[in-house]
Chain A
């Protein structure tokens, strides 16, 4: 088990390094001179007009950002800073990128976890209910709902829910951040697609397990059906489901970008959009690097959990 842990952990390091290289090159792969790009975006400390940045200002920023040095040296310096928790400063506000991100992160994490919670509960319950009576009307209805769920654009679902529950009935506030009431609609919107994906997988995984001989044995020895389902089938059916939940966490975290815009919620999502539109590269890089890192670690955790649940995995 320890070897498995270490091996899996070591495998994540090159991926994270690759992510850092891609994120670092964002600014350099963007067509045009990075310094001009940064100045045209917002202007550092008020010095920038759009095209009118003076030659001295350009040169000063080039030196300050280290763009006059060889690219690999720039990368190593940047990586060194990142590893020490320094993601640079925003071009727009001149605030530290880490501070800006960490001010917005709790709201996004809260939304993601709430969405994931809804997705897991809804997905597993519906999936099991559908699998217990395959091809019944309930099964058909649930799987129809799942098809709709994966085809519905989340941003539109959000607008529909705002219209019905906030504007028409007035049960919850339409937009904004803070409080459980303001979390319900965005979390449900965010979680619905994932719940559909989870429900489909739980159903097919359960159906697969229910065909196994040990289920017949369990039934033959006179166990009640609920015991067969919960104690014998569910536990084994959960193994693939856990992987998909790990993957869905990432999808929800990035999906929060859209949902935050729909509900005008604070968070990383709105920060990202503002940063992209303002060409605030250090901020964009910081956010993307952080989200990807979180995702890699969540996947790592999922894998470890998977290895823990299914001993066969460890020895491969």
Chain B
């Protein structure tokens, strides 16, 4: 009797576990299969993996302290000691680019995290409750969308004041609308499905319906948008730093480095070349991965 009682839950959870593994495996194999068809996804993921490793291991890999000036080697071209050359104070550009990976990836992740979390929350509330709440929230989003491109982020930086942290908040807020619109439209289509109605009918609280029944169904497009969102957040943040509104020297941020290097283009091409290449490679890798994930996870969003 005791044994039986014990066995039932074990069997159940085993079954559940296997289902879960099966589901994961099928998603995984789907990604793998599509990756074979789109080698660019693999390239993007690998490059990104390498970038993350570089960012984590920056203190170990970087041969010099990126903020440490050495007047004896000012503006020297790339050499075996200074692979990417040095800047006007004799700081090693290679080390700065490596440390910059840390900053850019962090900025991209945090800004996107702010945008995705708030955007998803607003989209869930608007789509689920509808009526006046939907009207109010979506009008607010419309107002945010009236600020084109990077202008919304600039507006918030103007309010909060220049600085890297404020740039993350500003870029994050500027990212809210696209998540909200995506989540809201997905919620609207999921909300009418039978299992949501069933959950409502048996009296499951709204918050639980949203988190347990609706959110998992809109997760795939959110993941895709988030991956692509990190790419655009990195670009925006670097742009704001380039304008002098973000990271301040001597922080080795790629956009801020380009801003300084701009004045030395004639004498030190290397100084502007490598941070720019770093931004492009990072963003390209994120975009390739995002496109691949979209094909794998959400075929509806696919563009040919």
Contacts and interface: CB of A to CB of B under 8 A. Distances in A.
A82 B284 CA distance: 43
Interface in A190-212: 200-201, 203-204, 207-208
Interface in A151-168: 151-156, 159-160, 162-163, 167
Given A153-B239, A204-B304, A273 B149 contact: no
**Which of A134, A159, A163, A167 gathers most chain B CB within 10 Å?**
A159
Contacts of A155: 238-239, 242, 255, 258
Given A167-B266, A272-B154, A291 B148 contact: yes
A292 interface: yes
B20 to A, nearest CB: 35
Contact of A159 (B139, B146, B235, B276): B276
B116 interface: no
**Which of B142, B149, B161, B244 gathers most chain A CB within 10 Å?**
B149
A208 B304 contact: yes
A31 B148 CA distance: 25
Nearest to A261: B243
Given A148-B284, A159-B272, A208-B304, A18 B150 contact: no
Given A204-B303, A258-B243, A276 B162 contact: yes
A147 B283 CA distance: 10
Interface string B49-64: 0000000000000000
Contact of B245 (A151, A154, A204, A273): A273
A151 B242 contact: no
B304 A18 contact: no
Interface string A1-37: 0000000000000111011001100100111000000
Contact of B143 (A19, A257, A273): A19
Contacts of A249: 148
Given A156-B272, A159-B276, A276-B157, A151 B150 contact: no
A18 B142 CA distance: 9
Of the four ranges (under 10, 10 to 19, 20 to 34, 35 or more), the interface on chain A belongs to 35 or more
Contacts of A152: 280, 283
Contacts of A252: 149
B272 A26 contact: no
B154 A147 contact: no
A44 interface: no
Contact of A153 (B139, B143, B235, B244): B235
Given A153-B279, A253-B149, A254-B148, A261 B143 contact: no
Interface string B260-304: 011001100100110110011001100110000000000000011
Nearest to B44: A147
Interface string B150-177: 1100110111111000000000000000
A79 interface: no
A257 B244 CA distance: 12
A273 B159 CA distance: 13
A284 B161 CA distance: 12
A225 to B, nearest CB: 20
A288 interface: yes
A153 B303 CA distance: 23
A14 B243 contact: no
Contacts of A309: none
A276 B158 contact: yes
Nearest to A275: B158
Closest 5 CB pairs of A and B: A250-B148, A156-B276, A18-B143, A254-B149, A151-B284
